[in-house]
Structures are given as structure tokens and as C-alpha cells.
Structure 1
Amino acid sequence: MPRSALAVVLLAVAQFLVVFDTTSFAVALPLVARDWGLAIAGLTWLLTAYSVCFAALPVLAGALGRAFGQRRVLMGGLALSSVAAAAPAVFSAPWVLMASRAVQGVAAAAITAGALALIDATHPAGPGRDRALNVHFAVVACATPAALLPCTLLLDASETEKTIFWVQAAAGVLLLLLVPLALAESAPEPAARRRVGAAALAVVPLGFLAWFADWLGDRSVSATTVIVIAVAGALVPSVLGWFGRGEGVPELLARLHRQRAAFGAYTVVALLAAGLSGAVLILTMALQTVGGLSPMRVGWALLPAVAGVVLGCLVLPGLAARVGLGATVAGACAVSAVGFVLLALPGAGYRFAEVLLPLLLIAFGCGVLALPVGFARSVSAALPRGLNASRQLGAGLGASLFIGIVTVAQQRFGGVTLSGMKDYRAFLSGAFRDCFELGTALCLTAAAIALLALPRRGDRTAAGDPGLSGGAPAGTAGSPGSSGR
């Protein structure tokens, strides 16, 4: 196998390890509650600690990689991940589990940032890098549903979450040994060291966003309020950019208008990542607590998401080349919204057969996440990295938002543990429907932003080689500010 191909495989496996950690922990929540004696409020704190750290650190991790070497950042993330996974397997104190989840969030940010940057370092600009980026993002998009089945098989066989911890620790150590053999260190940029401090400051607002999402749950804010705040915040860049069309407007508004394609792409990816991560997390809980499925059946029930993402990857590039990126992405978001609507219908029992079609629709629309080169060719190196950071931030925010809604329901019910009570399950069904209504709002907002900000023209010549450009339409090459006019 050529070294460049080996690098793509190894980086994809490293990214899969990040998703495996998140997915396995979500599936293992009932076992965690049983073995550690935690109520659902305690479980949500564990999930929030991870998502806040994961969402807060993408910019800093990227800056550290440029300053000191991306391979060092990746290896540091793998080392942290292995230690954090082994700690709760050895020690049974609840505070160890909480610290482990926070450190895992830090490790996930480092691994995710380092993996994408190393693709640039190991592949020269051109078709090879484009294909590598497409493969990497396809793995990212498919990883969550694909990881569910092996996670559930392990849990069913061992009946303890500590097996998952040991598997993750061993996998991290193995990757840590292979990385120096398969990947060369990227050249550090001395000038980038001066920007590390500024990147560190970005941790504050990004972490605040993730914490604020959790704060909504702690304050028992209604689900409607959560939806309004999330939609309004997502629309801000596009609305401000619309005001920047004229002459003599403030530079910030003019820049938002000039670079509306880039900002629109960032926002759409963040919204879809929030919806997909939230949907998988909440469905994992709903299928177990309301539908009564075993962990293994949950894995089988969520597996159609892989087929949906793959179908999206096959269909969307050619469609974008013909009808335009904006219309294609908006249509894909609308398809995802339909899936969320089906899950939010009154009377949904969240049983095996009831979630297959909605999940397939959600995943098809979220196939957009696997098309970074569909937003811009890799000659605009900043944009794929920005899309990766947006996906990372969106996934963290989505987990916090969806968990916050469930926390509200638990608080209003009075703190009942996951004991299988019939009335508790019925009450919690309403919280799950609120979550899926939030997912609907996020997808429809992404559709509106795609129509407002992304290029509308198609380019039939690009459809012939989706590996070269991801089916990118005319107007998406060049600088991140390309608007496609």
C-alpha cells in the first residue's frame, strides 16, 4: 500500500476512534447508571463535560499543530485518549469518570484537528488530496452509526461498560505506535507560534457556547426557547451579510457579504452536525428507555444511517453540479428535516421498525457532511479545515442542546432514575419529541442559509469526476470568500 494511502487509512481509523468513544459511551449509559449509581442528571453532566471540551478546542488544537507539528498534536491526543479511557476502567470513583470524560473531549479535539491537517501534509494539492479529503469526511459522516453495532455487540457480550474503556485504551496505544511509522511530521511554522495565544482566546467563546447550551437545561428553559435561540443564532451571519450588500456599510457587514459562501458553508455544516450528533445520541437513549431495545438491537436499528450517508455521498455531488450547490444542500437539509418530523410525531414509540425510515432520511441529508470539497476545492486549504472545525463545534453544541432538553424533562419529573417506570418513560417521550423538533428547526435553518449564501449555479463539466472536486459547482474554487456570482 502506498504511504499516502496508508496515511489516509490510519487517519480515518484515528477519527473512527473518536466517534467510537462518543458512541459507545452513549450506548453504555444504562450500564453506567447501574454500575455507578447515577441518575440521568449525573449522566447528562458526563456527556456535557465531553461536548464542552470537544467544542471549545478546535481552533487551539489547529494552531498548536501549525506551530509545533500536526503529528505531535495527533499523538498527544491519542496518548490522552488512552489514559482517559483506562482511568475509569481501573478506578471506580465517580469523579474519575467525570474527569475522564472531560479529558476525552480534549483528546478528541486534538485527534480531529491533527488528522485533517496531516492529510494536507501527506498529499500535494490536487486530485489526490481532494480524494483523500472526501474519504476522510465520508468516514467521519458514517462513523457514528457504523460504530454502534460493534459497541453494542461488545456491551452485550461483556455486560459492563469497562470493556469498552479497555478496548479504547488498547486501540489508542496501538495507533500511537503506528503513527510514527506511517506519518511524517508536518513542518512547524515558527510564525504560527505567535498566534497560539490568540487561538487560546477562542477557547473562551467556543466553550461558552457549549456551556450556554447546557445552561439552558440547568435553568429548565423550555424547549421552544432553546429552538428559538439556536435558530436565531445560526441565522445571524447570513442576515448580517444581507445587510452588507450596499455601499458605505461597515467593513464587518461587507466582509460577511463578500465571504458569504464560506460563512454559509461553515454554518450549514455546524447545524447538520448538531442535528446528526443529537439525533443519534437521543435515539440511542429513546430506543433503550422507551422502546425497550437491548443495546445490540439499538445498534441494528441505527445502522441504516450508514446507508443514508453513503447514498447522499453518491447522489449529492452530481446533483450539485447540475442544479447548483445552494439548491442541492438546501434540498438535502429539507430531506433531513422530514426525517426529524417523522420522529417528532405524537405517539411515536421509538421501536425498531419505526426509526428506520426517519433515520435513513436524516442521514441522507447529512451526507453533505461528507463533501468538504463540494463546498470548495482543496486549493482553498483554509476552508476544509474550517469546515472540520465547524463540524466539531456543531457536534459538541448539538449534544449539549439535545441533552439540555432531556435534562429539563428529568428535572420537572422529579429526578427519577432510569428504573424502567412506565410513567417515566411516557414523560420522557415528550422530551425526545422536543429534541426532534429542535432537529427539524436546525435542518430547516440550514436549508434557508444554503439558499441565501451558497452558490446557485451548476457546472455540468464537474460532474464527470466527483473524486476530483466532489462535484463542486462553478464558483466554489479559489478563496474562501468565493461567492459564485
Structure 2
Amino acid sequence: MSRRRLAVVLLGAAQVLVVFDTTAFAMALPWISSRSQLSVDGLTWLITMYSVCFAALPVLAVALGEAFGQRRVLMGGLVLSSAAAAASAVTQDADVLLTSRAVQGVAAAAITAGAVALIESTHPEGRGRDRALSVHFVVVAAAGPAVVLPSTMLLNTVESGAAVFWAQAVLGVLLLLLVPVTLTESATGPEARSRLGRAAAAVLPLGLLAWFADWLGDHSVSPTTIIAVAAAGALTPSSLSWLGRRGQEPSLLTRLYRERAALGAYTVVALLAACLTGAGFVLTLALQMVGGLSPESVGWALLPAVAGLVLGWLTLPLLAARVGLACTVAMACGVAAAGFVLLSREGTGYHLADVLPPLLLIAYGCGVLALPVSFARSGSGALPRALNSSRQLGAGLGASLFSGVVTVVVVGMPSSGFHSRKEYDAALAARFPECFELGIALALTAAAVALLTLPWQGLRTTAPDPGASAGAPAGTAGSPGSSGP
């Protein structure tokens, strides 16, 4: 296996480690609650600390990599990840657990940000880099549903959450040892360090946005408020860019209009990442609490989502070549919304037969997350590193939003008044559709953004785009200005 392929495998494994952490942690929550005597609110705070840190740092992590080297940032993330996992394994103190989850969020941001940049540094411009980026993004998209099964099997085998965290720490150390052997350091420059201040300024607003998403989910009496705010926030940039289309409005609006395609691509990726993260999180709970499945059975139930994501990755570029990126992405978002509609119907039992068809629809629609090269080829100006940051931000927001809605649903259930477990499960099943209504709104908002902003022309899949160098599409990573946001 060549050095470049080893680099793709190693970076994919690092991203899978990030997903394994979040999945295994979610599966180990009952064990953590029993050992540390944490309430539902306490467990929610563990999720919130991670998602806020993860969503707040994508811009700064990319900037640090440009200034000091992406490999150094990746190695730092692996060190923090292993240390935080070890802390989760040995402690029973709630404050230490909260701190370790915050550190784990920082580590995940560093690992995620460095991966795409290191693919660029190990692959010269051209089709080889395009293929490596494409494979990396589909691995990242499919990792969520793929790692549920091995995580639950490991938990069932060792019967202890501590062993799972120790396994994560050891895997992080092994990857850390392989990084210097496999990966070359990315180029740095003094001009990159001058941009660190602007990147650091983005941490607070992004963190507040993720925290507000969690707060909104915790305090809204109905997902309707959350849906309205999420839709308005996602559509605002596109609406402003439309106002600036004639060039007679303020320069900011004119610039937004000129860059609306790139802005739209980033927005769609963030919204669909929130959809995929939220769907996996809520279904994991619904299948156990309402469907009565064991954690390992939940892993088997979510595994077909990998097939849906890969199918989207394979077919959506071909469709975009014929009918255009805007129509293709909007159609995919509509398919994901249809999956959420099926899950939100009254009478859904959350058994395998009920969940499989809508899960496949959601996964196929979220196959858009595996298409960074197609976004760049569209001429939108969207860049793989920025798309990766958008996916990271969306996943953090999705975890905050959906966990907040779930908390409202579960805490809002009366503690008494049910004569049997069957009555309680029926009442809970009637409330879970509120969670999936949020997924409908996010997916439909992504479809609207795609139609308003993305290019309508078909994409060429064989010939390089005008201005491409050695087959690399103009505007993709490696070209001037490709350093991300």
C-alpha cells in the first residue's frame, strides 16, 4: 500500500475514532449515570459540553493548523482525546466528567479540522486528491451508523463503560504513534499566523450558537419554536444575498450575492449534518425506550444507513451531471425529509420494520455530505476544508438541538399515572414524533437553500473544469484561497 493510501486510511481511522467516542459515550450513559449518580439534567450537560466545544472550534482549529502545521494539530487532538478518554474511565466525579467531555470536544475539533488539510498535503492536485477527498468524506458520513454496532458489542462483551474508554485511549495512542511515520507536515507561513486573531474571534459566537441551540431545545414547550428559529437562521444569508443581486444595495449584500453558491453549499452541509446526527441520536433512544431493542440490536438496526449513504455518494454526482447541482441536492434533501415524515407519523412503533425504510431515505438524502468535490466542481467556490468545518458545526448543533428536544420529551412525561409499562411506552411513542418534526424542518430548509443558491447547470464528470490544473477543479483545495473560512 502506497504512502498516500496509508495516509487516507490513517486519517479515516482518526475520524472514526471521533465518531466512536461520541457513539460509545452515548451507549455508556446508563453505566455513567449509575456510577456517578447523575440525573437526566447532568447527563444532558455531558452531551452539551462536548457539542458546544466541538461546534465552536472548527474555524480556529483550521487556522492553528495553517499557522503551526496540520499534523501538529492532529497529534495534539489525539493526545487530548486519549487523555480525556482515560479520565472518563477512572473518575466518578461529575465535575471531572464534564471537564473531560469539554476536552474531548476540543480534541474532536482538532482531529476533524486537520484531516482534510493533511489529505491535501499528502496528495498533489488532480484526480488522486479528488478521489482521496471523496473517500474520506463518505467514510466520515458513514462512520456514525457504522460504529454503533461495534460499540454496543464491545460494551456487551466487557460489561463496563470503563473498558470502552480505555480502548478508545489506546486506539488514540496507536494512531498518535503512526502519524509521524505516515503523514507529512503541511506548509505553514507567517501570514497564516496573522489570521489567528480573526479565527479566535469566531469561537465565542459559534460556541454561543451551539449553547443557544441546546438552551432552546431545553426550554421550548414545543419544537415549533426551534423549527422556526432554525429555518429563519438558515435562510437569512440566502435572503440577504438575494436582496443584493442588483449591486445597488450595501457592499455586504452584494458580496453575499456573489458568493451565494458557496454560502449555500456550506449551509446545506451544516443542516444535513444536523439531520444525520439528530436522526441517529433520537433513533438510538427510541428503539431502546419504545421499541424494546437491546443496544446491540439497535446497532444492527442502524447499520443499513451505511448502505443508504454510500448509495447517495455513488448516484448523486451522476444525477447532478444531468440535471444540475441545485435540483439534485434539493431532491436529496426532500428524500431525507420524507424519511423524517415517515418517522413522525402517529402509530409508529419504532421496531426494525418501522424504522428501516425511513432510515434508508434519510441516509440517502444525507449522502450529500459525501460530495465535497462535486460542490467544488459546480463553480460555487465551496472548498473542502470549509465544507468539513460546516459539517462539524452542523453535527454539533444537531446534537444540541435534538438532545434538547429529547430532554423536553422525556422530562415532560409524568412520573406517575401509568398503570403499566405498556401505557408508558405508548405515551412516549406519541411524543417522539416531536423530535422528528425538527428533522423535517431542517431537511426542507436545506432544500430551499439549495434551490435559492446552488448552480442549476449540469456538472461535467469527465473533462476538467475551465481553469483546472492537472485535472483539479478550479476552486478546490490546493488552489489559492483554499484554506477554508
TM-score by length of 2: 0.92
Identify if the C-alpha distance between structure 1 residues 424 and 85 changes in structure 2 by more than 3 Å, giving closer, same or farther: farther
1:2 correspondence with 2:10: no
Q: Which residue of 1 aligns with 2:286?
A: 286
Letter in 1 for 2:32: V
* C-alpha contact 1:48 1:400 (8 A) present in aligned 2: yes
**Structure 2 Cα separation of the partners of residues 208 and 428 of structure 1:** 31
Identify unmatched segments of 5+ residues in structure 2: none
**Structure 2 Cα separation of the partners of residues 138 and 104 of structure 1:** 23
Q: Which residue of 2 aligns with 1:183?
A: 183
* C-alpha contact 1:27 1:152 (8 A) present in aligned 2: yes
* C-alpha contact 1:379 1:478 (8 A) present in aligned 2: no
**Structure 2 Cα separation of the partners of residues 372 and 87 of structure 1:** 36
**Structure 2 Cα separation of the partners of residues 381 and 259 of structure 1:** 8
Letter in 2 for 1:252: L
Letter in 2 for 1:206: L
1:225 correspondence with 2:225: yes
Q: How does 1:463-482 map to 2 (within 5 A)?
A: none
**Structure 1 Cα separation of the partners of residues 198 and 233 of structure 2:** 23
Q: Which residue of 2 aligns with 1:58?
A: 58
Residue aligned with 2:245, SS: coil
* C-alpha contact 1:378 1:384 (8 A) present in aligned 2: no
Residue aligned with 2:194, SS: helix
Q: Which residue of 2 aligns with 1:110?
A: 110
1:38 deviates by 2.5
The share of aligned pairs that are identical, in percent, is 68
Identify unmatched segments of 5+ residues in structure 1: none
**Structure 2 Cα separation of the partners of residues 415 and 94 of structure 1:** 25
**Structure 1 Cα separation of the partners of residues 332 and 382 of structure 2:** 24
Q: How does 1:374-393 map to 2 (within 5 A)?
A: 374-377=374-377, 383-393=383-393
1:125 deviates by 1.2
* C-alpha contact 1:339 1:362 (8 A) present in aligned 2: yes
1:358 deviates by 0.8
1:474 deviates by 11
* C-alpha contact 1:113 1:389 (8 A) present in aligned 2: yes
Letter in 2 for 1:407: T
**Structure 2 Cα separation of the partners of residues 371 and 386 of structure 1:** 13
* C-alpha contact 1:130 1:378 (8 A) present in aligned 2: no
Provide, for residues 448-481 of structure 1, a one-character-per-residue CA deviation record: whole Å limited to 9, x for no partner: 111111111114554999xx99xx9999999999
1:219 deviates by 2.5
Q: Which residue of 1 aligns with 2:91?
A: 91
**Structure 1 Cα separation of the partners of residues 463 and 273 of structure 2:** 25
After the TM superposition, which of the residue ranges 216-225 and 301-310 deviates more from structure 2? 216-225
Letter in 1 for 2:214: D
1:379 deviates by 10
Q: How does 1:66-465 map to 2 (within 5 A)?
A: 66-377=66-377, 383-413=383-413, 422=422, 424-459=424-459, 462=462
1:37 correspondence with 2:37: yes
1:124 deviates by 1.1
Residue aligned with 1:413, SS: coil
Letter in 1 for 2:110: A
* C-alpha contact 2:262 2:381 (8 A) present in aligned 1: no
Identify if the C-alpha distance between structure 1 residues 331 and 382 changes in structure 2 by more than 3 Å, giving closer, same or farther: closer
Residue aligned with 1:8, SS: helix
TM-score by length of 1: 0.92
1:415 deviates by 7.5
1:424 deviates by 4.7
**Structure 1 Cα separation of the partners of residues 378 and 450 of structure 2:** 20
Residue aligned with 1:376, SS: helix
* C-alpha contact 2:152 2:296 (8 A) present in aligned 1: yes
- How large is the Cα RMSD of the aligned pairs? 2.7
Provide, for residues 387-436 of structure 1, a one-character-per-residue CA deviation record: whole Å limited to 9, x for no partner: 001000000001100011112223433679xxx95555444434421111
Identify if the C-alpha distance between structure 1 residues 173 and 189 changes in structure 2 by more than 3 Å, giving closer, same or farther: same
Identify if the C-alpha distance between structure 1 residues 271 and 167 changes in structure 2 by more than 3 Å, giving closer, same or farther: same
Number of residue equivalences: 475
Letter in 2 for 1:281: F
Letter in 2 for 1:173: V
**Structure 1 Cα separation of the partners of residues 423 and 93 of structure 2:** 31
After the TM superposition, which of the residue ranges 168-177 and 378-387 deviates more from structure 2? 378-387
Letter in 1 for 2:268: V
**Structure 2 Cα separation of the partners of residues 457 and 381 of structure 1:** 15
Provide, for residues 88-131 of structure 1, a one-character-per-residue CA deviation record: whole Å limited to 9, x for no partner: 21122222222111111000000000111111111111111111
Letter in 2 for 1:342: L
* C-alpha contact 2:80 2:104 (8 A) present in aligned 1: yes
Residue aligned with 1:348, SS: coil
Identify if the C-alpha distance between structure 1 residues 25 and 423 changes in structure 2 by more than 3 Å, giving closer, same or farther: farther
1:326 deviates by 0.5
Letter in 2 for 1:317: P
1:441 deviates by 0.7
**Structure 1 Cα separation of the partners of residues 394 and 269 of structure 2:** 7
1:351 deviates by 1.3
